[in-house]
Every structure is written in structure tokens, then in C-alpha cells.
Amino acid sequence: MKQGHFTLIAILLMVVAFVAATMFHSSGEEKAMNERVSNNSTALIKDYSVKAGNPNAKVTLVEFMDPACGTCAQFHPFVKQLMQQQAGKMNLVIRYLPFHQGSDRMVAMLEAARKQDKFWEVLELMFATQAQWTINHVAQPDVFMGFIDRAGVDVARIKQDMNNPEIAKIIQQDMADGKLLGANKTPSFFVNGKPLPSFGYQQLQTLVESEVNVNY
Amino acid sequence: MVEQTEAPHQLETNTTSWKLLFTCWLIAMLATLGSLFFSEIMGLIPCELCWYQRIFIYPLAVMLFIALHPLDTRVVRYALPLAIIGTLFTLYHCLLFYGLIPENLQPCRQGVSCSDEGMVLMGVLPIPLLSLAAFGMIAGLLLKIRTLAK
């Protein structure tokens, strides 16, 4: 039927146009992303940022994360595992993108815990208990405060230190840097300044391994 | 349905109706694929009003296709309300976008504002305006088909 052919051709044309536009867009996007990062390389790491691993390692993984982000919690064990696999060869820098409502207070708790050298313990606890204090994508800092002592911190000091106005500045700077670098989702990873080609565990591992191979 | 015993003028009407309906379907398809391209490929987050418009355009893409094979102009009865409601949403959205309705009246949540400047494609084409054009044309063409069928 002639009319049938007409619609079939229209569908085919639309599918081809969609695929072509997608390919065109993603190639442009990848280029733009790399350019953004190389133009703003000082935005990747700040002196104040939390760091882990060998400071002299030649591979640096920068993670922009949100304590209330479910995917960040799921990725956390994997990032730790990567750090162990590449022990001595890579280090980790944590940046904050508290997109969830209330999450800036969670970051404040992390920064307060850092003063007691308990950053990682508190972060582990946050991720492990995330479902209890993140309700409908809204972080409930008071709920978490109810059991933060499990991480072995001085709770009274946390409550006091988390009101430090410096913390708000750190968050503001991290959010601004994230924007400059095009990190608009959490977690966003950069390995030696290179963004992930597409999101996923495997892509992160491949990128880390290729950087290790190039540098060692 | 195209009947075997139709008079020549009826056949002609049907051909015109088919073409008009085909155009409606094409617009609905372009709007559907376009909106999916914006959100899934370009990563633009749809604002709340965009979601309501999506609700009314996606079924049109399917419904109008079915009505083309074979031609069933009674589809106007089902498609027109969707197109009209969609047009009302886009009108409201355009008024918001151009600041003719104050921001605090809008139902969007924090994060993505319905009057965000990110909604302008390549610096010239505002997405709410594209949506208004799509819904408006579909509604207009459906009305035309309805008059032809009478």
C-alpha cells in the first residue's frame, strides 16, 4: 500500500535522523567536556580537599560526590577496591556536590568529623545507613546525628564544628568548580583530569588502568 | 474506514484527510523524539510543565499512527481533547517563560525552573514555543479533518 510505504519511510528517516543527531551531539559533547577540563584544570583539586592514598601517586582520581546520593553510596566500595588494587599508584580527591536538599548539612558533618580524623569512618557510616536518613531524596541530618556516635566521633564537637562558616565556603567553591568542569551529576569522576567517556564501573576501572599503564 | 463503494468526492476527501492526519502524526513524532533527545541525549532535565506536555503528546504519536492504517477520521474525537489540553499547557508555559505570569505562581519545583534560560535551543529557539507550535498545529489540523468529515 502506497500510504503504508509513506509512513514506513517517514519512520526510517526519523530514526536515522535521531541516531545521527545523537552521534553528532555526543562527539561534540566529548570534545567540549575535554576542553572544559583542560581550560579549568585548577578547578579539579583544591588544597582544602579531602585526599586519600599516596600523595606522590601519578594517577589522581577526583570524585565529585553527594553523601545523600544513592549511586555514590553504591560506587563507594568499588572506588575503595580500585584504590587497593592500585595501591601506591593512585590517590583520591573528594569534592562535594550536595545536590540533595539537606545534604549540605551532611557535608558539614563530614568536615567536622575530619577535624577528629574520622572523615572516612563517618562517610562509611553515612553510605551504609543512607536509606535511614535520606527520605524521598531529602537528607535528614538530624536523623543521622542520632547515630553518628557509631563512627566513634565526639558528637558534641561535631555539632559545634559543623557550624564553622568555612564549610559553607568549601561547598560553594566545590559547587562552582563542579559547574566549571561540567560535573552536573553525582558521582562525577575525573582520572588525571580525564572525564569518564560514559558512566559505569567498568569505564572507571578501564580509565584508571590506562592511566596507570601510561604513567608506570 | 475506506469503503469500497465510496463516491469519488468521498475518496478525495479521504486522501486529504489522510494527508492532514499524516502531518499531525509527523508533528507528534517529531515532538516525541525531540523531547526525548533533549532529555536523554542532551541531558536537559524536563521541568514539571514539560512533563505534563509530554503526557499529552506521547499518546498522540501512537494514536495518530494507528488511525492512519487504515484511515480512521474518528480518531479526531479522541485525539483533539489531548491536543487541546496540551495546547493549554504550552500556552501557560509560554506565558511563564516570557514572564507574563509571575514566577511565584508556577508549579515547578526547585532545581529546574520552567522559565529557565536553558530552555532556549542554540540561543534562538525556546522549547516552550516549539511545543506550542506542535500542539497548536496538531489541534488545528485535527479540527480541519473534523470539518472535512462532516
For A4, which of B33, B42, B69 is closest by C-beta distance? B69
- Segments making up each domain of chain B, as ranges: 8-149
Rounded average pLDDT per 10-residue block, chain B, 150 residues: 61 86 95 90 82 94 93 93 94 85 56 64 79 94 89
Answer yes or no: is pLDDT of A1 > 60: no
Give the pLDDT mean for A183-211.
Answer: 90
CB-neighbour burial class of residue A117 (10 A; exposed 0-12, middle 13-18, buried 19+): exposed
Q: Which residues of B touch A25 (CB under 8 A)?
A: 37, 41-42
Q: Which residues of A touch B16 (CB under 8 A)?
A: none
For B37, which of A3, A7, A21 is closest by C-beta distance? A21
Q: What is the pLDDT of residue B116?
A: 64
> In Å, how far are A83, A118, B19, B89 from A156, measured between CA atoms?
32, 14, 74, 52
Answer yes or no: is pLDDT of A168 > 80: yes
CB atoms closer than 10 angstroms to residue A205: 15
User: pLDDT averaged over chain A?
Assistant: 91
In CATH, what number does A42-215 get?
A: 3.40.30.10
- Segments making up each domain of chain A, as ranges: 2-39, 42-215
* Å between B67 CA and nearest CA of chain A: 12
